[in-house]
Amino acid sequence: MDFKWNKLFIISILEISLVLTSCKKESDTVIYVPTSETITIDSSVAYKEPFRPQFHFSPEKKWMNDPNGMVFYKGTYHLFYQYYPEDIVWGPMHWGHATSTDLIHWKHKKIALFPDKLGLIFSGSAVVDIDNTSGLGTKENPPMIAIFTYHDMEGEKAGKTDYQTQGLAYSLDEGETWAKYEKNPIISNLVLKDFRDPKVFWNETTKIWNMVLVAGDHAKFYTSKNLINWTLESEFGKNIGAHGGVWECPDIFKLKVDDSNEEKWVLLISINPGAPNGGSGTQYFIGDFDGKSFKTTQKDIKWIDNGADNYAGVTYNNAPENKRIFIGWMSNWSYARDTPTKNWRSAMTIPRELSLAKINGDYTLKSVPVEQFQKQRTTAFSKDKITLKANQKTTIDYANLNQSEVQLNAKNENLKLVFFNDVKDSLVINYDEKGKTFAIDRRHSGLVSFEKSFGEKIHHTKTSNIVSETINYQIIMDWSSIEIFLNGGVYSFTEQIFPNKPYTKLIIQSDENQEIKNLTINKIKGVW
Ligand code: FRU
């Protein structure tokens, strides 16, 4: 081969490869978002430990599960929760306590309820007895009343079947200190192994106290004039809904259907196991409640959240402006004890406002982060429009996606979002328009092998209620969780994640031509 040709050959190869590289550059875009964000991790400092949520509620230390006793009173949101102060695994249950004036910043309070000779303190609810119907306070100083389940461990060990009863405690200083009602239990067991998690509320229509609790495979409804003596009115659910596991943590409330004057009652029932993506999940029924019994014509099974990690969620009593505010436990009994955190275990979801819509003639419970959450945002990056050719990628390089909110509108076509870091952890979410499914793949999202089922499968959800031409995506990511809301919460997905390092790249792509509008990345201020 003559030298000149050879040189030419080399040049043309170089040219071709230059052209090829520039082609690649032209089609795939990288947008670098400068930020002064620094991430401090220090295992010895509370709220700086690896995986510690920066803007979600988590206990300062030790184990937490269900939210309990959620009540708003005199400007303060009370959040009680299932708490074991001695270890980071489930143990003898207490009620931990925290308060907030905005549902975002929380103050830790003293433990509210301790186990006693009747048993451990399982889940339940709280009300303010404004008219002092119980006689436990005065009209001038109405008592705050907690109604919860006593779980008698000794009884359970002895093989009895009546070891769960309902107890009452009251506070005359707005939840600071509590006394147990001396004639507890207020409802004895009906010889039912599972008999728990009372939700009590004032029924404005019938002017009486209502309670719903669960008994294995169904819910029981009660009424009371004084919160102490209860009358069993009806049962619901034996042959309706999902029954893959025992029923737990019920709630019932009324909502107006969007854009109409119609009102419907929503019954929430958590079940474990039996959720669509494995383990624990919360189903709901839409129907009517006359103060005594709940009826529904619903045939299908509906879930409040289709991710793997939103369980035992219930709503606030007396929230301002008649809002229905929900908080769930961001975990799943399949691996709650195994997640790789050290000083504490688990967190709550972002508080969410619930509403009801009719889509395709079907009632749908929607949830979105409460509006107070907006105050935590500052815009780090925004772009009006990104046009993507099929399989073309836009990568946003941003130092800490694990404390961010991503919002965008995309055509109702395939969209794939990949959260990625330099140790190659990747969390993939994929909306598939043709199959009408939404998928979350956390199999390679970071630490997953602490328990077999955690990273075993891609989680798929049918999204037949996405009927719009463009889809709004709202994605909130904290250090160890992702919460996704589609079209204003028509679908929501909550999942835990444990990336080895924060995700620093968001890759946006599609297998079709796609158009992204109003892409925003917000930094979320920490609250601790
Ligand atoms: C739900 C649950 C409740 C029970 C509590 C015990 O997660 O199993 O049914 O009251 O946890 O901690």
DSSP tag of 207: T
Q: What is the CATH number of the domain that holds 474?
A: 2.60.120.560
Q: Return the pLDDT at 26.
A: 54
Q: Last residue of some domain: 369, 387, 412?
A: 369
pLDDT grade for 40, boundaries at 50, 70 and 90: confident
Q: Return the pLDDT at 34.
A: 86
- Tally of domains in the chain: 2
From the CB of residue 515, how many other CB atoms can be counted at a distance below 10 Å?
14
Q: Return the pLDDT at 17.
A: 38
Residues 140 and 280 in one domain: yes
Residues 28 and 92 in one domain: no
- Our answer to whether residue 478 is catalytic in this structure is no
pLDDT grade for 11, boundaries at 50, 70 and 90: very low
Residues 212 and 332 in one domain: yes
State how beta strands 231-236 and 344-345 pair.
Answer: unpaired
**Residues 294/384, Cβ–Cβ less than 8 Å:** no
Residues 351 and 432 in one domain: no
- Residue 50 within any structural domain of the chain: no
Distance between CA atoms of residues 427 and 421, nearest Å: 10
- Residue 7 within any structural domain of the chain: no
Is 374 in a helix, a strand, or coil?
A: helix
Is the pLDDT at 13 greater than 50, yes or no? no
Regarding the beta carbon of 66 and ligand 1, being less than 6 Å apart is answered: yes
- Residue 4 within any structural domain of the chain: no
Residues 238 and 93 in one domain: yes
Cβ within 8 Å of residue 93, ≥6 positions away: 82, 83, 84, 115, 120, 121, 122, 151
Residues 352 and 385 in one domain: no
Q: Return the pLDDT at 35.
A: 80
Residues 30 and 85 in one domain: no
Q: Ligand 1: which of 62, 95, 166, 248 to mutate, judged by most atoms within 8 Å of the beta carbon?
A: 248
**pLDDT (mean) for 42-56:** 96
**pLDDT (mean) for 59-86:** 98
Residue ID of nearest Cα to ligand 1 atom 9: 248
Q: Last residue of some domain: 317, 338, 369?
A: 369
Q: Return the pLDDT at 19.
A: 38
Q: Return the pLDDT at 320.
A: 98
Regarding the beta carbon of 312 and ligand 1, being less than 6 Å apart is answered: yes
Q: Return the pLDDT at 15.
A: 39
**pLDDT (mean) for 5-32:** 51
Residues 432 and 485 in one domain: yes
**pLDDT (mean) for 12-16:** 39
Q: Return the pLDDT at 39.
A: 75
Regarding the beta carbon of 122 and ligand 1, being less than 6 Å apart is answered: yes
Distance between CA atoms of residues 470 and 104, nearest Å: 30
Query: 351 lies in which domain range?
Result: 62-369
Higher pLDDT: 13 or 35? It is 35
User: What is the rounded end-to-end Cα distance, in angstroms, of the chain?
Assistant: 71
Q: How far is the CA of 330 from the centre of ligand 1 (A)?
A: 14
Q: Return the pLDDT at 56.
A: 98
Q: Last residue of some domain: 369, 395, 410?
A: 369
Q: Among the atoms of ligand 1, which is closest to the Cα of residue 249?
A: 9
- Residue 17 within any structural domain of the chain: no
Q: What is the CATH number of the domain that holds 256?
A: 2.115.10.20
Mean pLDDT rounded to a whole number for the chain = 94
**pLDDT (mean) for 180-201:** 95
Lowest mean pLDDT: which of 24-38, 201-215, 296-310, 438-452? 24-38
Regarding the beta carbon of 82 and ligand 1, being less than 6 Å apart is answered: yes
Cis peptide bond N-terminal to 198, omega within 30: no
**pLDDT (mean) for 446-472:** 97
Q: How far is the CA of 208 from the centre of ligand 1 (A)?
A: 27
Is the pLDDT at 498 greater than 60, yes or no? yes
Cβ within 8 Å of residue 68, ≥6 positions away: 80, 81, 82, 95, 123, 124, 125, 126, 146, 148
Q: Return the pLDDT at 23.
A: 41
Is the pLDDT at 249 greater than 60, yes or no? yes
Residues 280 and 360 in one domain: yes
- pLDDT digit string (tens) for 109-143? 999 999 999 999 999 999 999 999 999 999 999 99
- Residue 391 within any structural domain of the chain: yes
Percentage of the chain surpassing pLDDT 90?
Answer: 92
- Residue 463 within any structural domain of the chain: yes
**pLDDT (mean) for 393-405:** 96
Residues 147 and 88 in one domain: yes
Q: How far is the CA of 327 from the centre of ligand 1 (A)?
A: 15
Residues 355 and 409 in one domain: no
- Residue 139 within any structural domain of the chain: yes
Catalytic residue among 2, 42, 66, 384: 66
Is 502 in a helix, a strand, or coil?
A: coil
- Residue 10 within any structural domain of the chain: no
Regarding the beta carbon of 145 and ligand 1, being less than 6 Å apart is answered: no
Is the pLDDT at 20 greater than 80, yes or no? no
Residue with structure tokens 């204003």?
488
Residues 322 and 232 in one domain: yes
Q: Return the pLDDT at 27.
A: 81
> Of 524, 43, 90, 106, nearest to 339 (Cα)?
90
**Residues 369/485, Cβ–Cβ less than 8 Å:** yes
**Residues 271/242, Cβ–Cβ less than 8 Å:** yes
- pLDDT digit string (tens) for 361-385? 999 999 999 999 999 999 999 999 9
Give the phi and the psi of residue 509 in degrees, each rounded to 5: -155, 175
Q: Among the atoms of ligand 1, which is closest to the Cα of residue 66?
A: 7
